[in-house]
Amino acid sequence: MAKSKTQDPTHTTLDGEAELDKYVREHSDKEPEYLYRLYRDTNVRLLHGRMASGHLQGRLLKMLVEMAKPKNVLEVGTFSGYSALCLAEGLSEDGHLYTFEINDEQEDFTRKWIEGSPLSEKISFIIGNAIEEVPCIASEKGITFDMAFIDGDKRTYVETYEMVLPLMSKGGWILADNTLWDGHVIDPEYARDYQTKGIRDFNDVVANDDRVEKVIIPLRDGLTLIRKK
């Protein structure tokens, strides 16, 4: 997930940009208490805790799900479960989220928070390589996905995208996170960084893909909305 110096609602030393971020949060829906506690625990107990979506993006993910009304949602890159719970919040009664995390060391922390949530019945949390396992699950269950959130290994974003797109329903939405990558996508000093290269390659592939409509939203670290035609 994105890197953000202003995600922590207890932040007190605020420059102009942080003041505006604070204003935006205060004039958006509040972060649910359970998610607030999860975000705090993520930052206390995990390395790179700021990778979690956080308040503002979490509320956006929930609202996008409510707007699109997907039945089956796929997430690639669960991390601590924050974004998964936000996606699940927006689901209708018959909706379901399949979320994949490749790092098995993450399981104990994340499963506790997902299974402790009242939304747990809407979520299948799977440890494994999504690129390999998602097509098998889609085939076994006979499902297509109406929405997908890509937030896993940046080096394999193109592979993930090419795996996901054929499994999407017509008019389905793919949300790709971190597509501005802290501005590194336009910084020549990061030309040899594998994660930056992965994001750049992904952005180029999507920009030139006539199978989809797309727009990058400069929220936090960049969020690309992609609609399958």
Decide: 8 and 227 in contact? Cβ < 8 Å: no
Residue 81 within any structural domain of the chain? yes
CATH number of the domain to which 195 belongs: 3.40.50.150
Ramachandran angles phi, psi of 72, nearest 5°: -120, 125
Q: Is 183 helix (H, G, I), strand (E, B) or coil?
A: helix
Q: Note the pLDDT of residue 49.
A: 66
Q: Is 158 helix (H, G, I), strand (E, B) or coil?
A: helix
Count how many Cα atoms sit within 13 Å of the Cα of residue 71 in the half-sphere of its side chain: 7
- The more confident residue out of 6 and 150 is 150
**Beta bridge partner(s), residue 110:** none
The rounded distance, in Å, linking the Cα atoms of 137 and 83 is: 21
Residue 5 within any structural domain of the chain? no
What DSSP character marks residue 191?
T
- The mean per-residue pLDDT over the stretch 35-54 comes to 86
Q: How many distinct structural domains can be found in the chain?
A: 1
Decide: 179 and 223 in contact? Cβ < 8 Å: yes
State the pLDDT confidence band at 146, using cuts at 50, 70 and 90. very high
Q: Note the pLDDT of residue 158.
A: 98
User: Would you state the structure tokens that stand for residue 71, as one six-digit string?
Assistant: 């039945």
Residue 99 within any structural domain of the chain? yes
Residue 135 within any structural domain of the chain? yes
Is beta strand 212-217 parallel, antiparallel or unpaired with respect to 168-177?
unpaired
User: Would you state the structure tokens that stand for residue 99, as one six-digit string?
Assistant: 């979320």
Q: Is 176 helix (H, G, I), strand (E, B) or coil?
A: strand
Tens digits of residue pLDDT in 169-212? 999 999 999 999 999 999 999 999 999 999 999 999 999 999 99
Tens digits of residue pLDDT in 25-39? 999 999 999 999 999
Domain that holds residue 194: 16-228
